[in-house]
Structure 1
Amino acid sequence: MIVRTTEVQNNFGKYLMIAAKEEVIITRNGVEVARLQSMEEVPEATRKESVVNEMPLFYDAKPKKATYEEFLKLTRNEENRYEYIDGQIYLLASPRTGHQYAVGSLFGILFNHFQGSQYTPFTAPYDIHLKRPGHDEPCVVQPDLMVICDLDEHLDDQDYYTGIPCLVVEILSESTQGKDLVKKLDLYMECGVQEYWIVDPTERKAIIYHFQDHKIKQTSMCKPPETAHSFLFEELSVELELLFKS
């Protein structure tokens, strides 16, 4: 699992309990700086006396990967939200006001635009399982917003969606920007998402990627008072001033 230093500081007892079961990687400004792990996983020769001697803090930039089954076991019946990308588990922090303002505003626009059509907008939390070509285990993500075009065709017997959204939106925050700009960009492109919007409330801008054949076909970047235009849906446009609180 990967978490930020501020999250660990605010919930240290919780992460000590988690570290008894799996390694917790701690990041600062997007850089991995430390890890919490059970003493059972530490060689005897490296163990030292510590105030917290059950799960000491070790500085190590190399994270330990988890299997998909381990991810499911950890997150089963959990109230917290998690993502699983290429063997790494990410705890999703509580979003700030600017983030939620952008999510709510954009969802309203998408809902009105696609109402009565075959396309269905959704907001997080909503698990999307994406499998990279040639990989056995899927990644599990919770995009901030998504547009699904084949909902009825890809619902399993437990009412979970098993397909690939045609359009995905991530609202950047300090804790997720590295993952959204790099890891998720690559994941969405490789797994068949057709369009990816990255909305940045801090910089007040939007970046739109149009994917085709698992490659970037087109991209655009705009700021208020400009209007963002979808490559995939010709009539979908968004006045960016509506997404950012003044």
Structure 2
Amino acid sequence: MEARNYEFSMVTGTEKKIYTFEEYEALEREEGIRYEYVDGEVFAMAGTTKRHNTIVQNATFALRAVAKKKGCSVYSESVKQKLKTGEKYVYPDVIYTCEPADLADDSETVVQSPSLLIEVVSESTQRYDIREKRLEYFKIPSLQYYLLVSQKHYCVELYERSADFWKYTIYDGLDAKIELEKLGVTMSLAEIYEGI
């Protein structure tokens, strides 16, 4: 008889299933739904808008040419990011990595050592992206930059790793250019918001 792990939820009064990572990946394949995975619990990802999707595609496209020249890769929306605390996997909107282990097998579904993570924030995800995810992302040793891209305004918030702190910069307006010097990347807000 196969052992199953369950916990009791005080909020709903029901049992919630605790998944192994293998069961979690099988669930995603079977259902065709993206779930974030937090210490055995799974949480369905909300759907996105056309605006969100356009911004993600624009950011990915802006990074792709540089990534190709430098032997790096850019992934959007459907590749998981392994977090450093606990057993947690999330879906950033854009992942940029140059880590050979992340690039070795293109059939893998997980990145472990990104240089850049981008989240396109909406009203429903803003608090989670700014608070919980940001703090988890900052624990990833390879991460150099974290960008939060607004859907409501032409505005990007940049967190850049310094020696012993994170520098915070706001870029406002379509004329603004974001310099990601450690990656050799320059992105303009006009590129990110093209078609918006």
Q: TM-score range by the shorter chain?
A: 0.7 to 0.9
> In structure 1, what is the equivalent of residue 3 of structure 2?
none
TM-score w.r.t. the length of structure 1 is 0.64
**Are 2:55 and 1:105 equivalent residues in the alignment?**
no
Partners in 1 of 2:8 and 2:51 — Cα distance? 32
> In structure 1, what is the equivalent of residue 128 of structure 2?
179
> In structure 2, what is the equivalent of residue 229 of structure 1?
179
**Are 2:102 and 1:143 equivalent residues in the alignment?**
no
**Are 2:116 and 1:163 equivalent residues in the alignment?**
no
Farther off after superposition, 161-170 or 188-197: 161-170
Farther off after superposition, 197-206 or 83-92: 83-92
Which structure has the greater CA radius of gyration? Answer: 1
The Cα shift of 1:92 comes to 1.0
TM-score w.r.t. the length of structure 2 is 0.78
Q: Output one character per residue of 1:116-158: Cα deviation in whole Å (capped at 9) or x when no partner.
A: 22221111200121222xxxx3210111111111144664696
The Cα shift of 1:109 comes to 0.7
Listed as ranges, the gaps of 5+ residues in structure 1 are 1-20, 26-34, 42-63
> In structure 2, what is the equivalent of residue 54 of structure 1?
none
Contact 1:209 1:216 in 2 (8 A): no
**Are 2:31 and 1:78 equivalent residues in the alignment?**
yes
Listed as ranges, the gaps of 5+ residues in structure 2 are 1-5
The Cα shift of 1:102 comes to 0.6
SS in 1 for 2:159: strand
Higher RCO (Cα < 8 Å, 6 or more apart): 2
The Cα shift of 1:243 comes to 2.1
Which structure: greater strand fraction? 2
The Cα shift of 1:178 comes to 1.3
> In structure 1, what is the equivalent of residue 79 of structure 2?
126
Q: Output one character per residue of 1:47-91: Cα deviation in whole Å (capped at 9) or x when no partner.
A: xxxxxxxxxxxxxxxxx8x7562x653552331111124666432
Matched residue pairs, number? 185
Partners in 2 of 1:36 and 1:72 — Cα distance? 26
Q: Which residue identity lines up with residue 180 of structure 2 in the other structure?
A: S
> In structure 2, what is the equivalent of residue 52 of structure 1?
none
Partners in 1 of 2:165 and 2:39 — Cα distance? 21
Q: Of the candidates 131, 150, 156, which is equivalent to residue 206 of structure 1? A: 156
Going from structure 1 to structure 2, the CA distance change for 1:191 and 1:229 (only over 3 Å counts) comes to same
Going from structure 1 to structure 2, the CA distance change for 1:67 and 1:150 (only over 3 Å counts) comes to same
Partners in 2 of 1:83 and 1:174 — Cα distance? 19
Contact 1:170 1:197 in 2 (8 A): yes
Taking only aligned residues, the RMSD between alpha carbons, in angstroms, comes to 3.0
Q: Percent identity?
A: 22
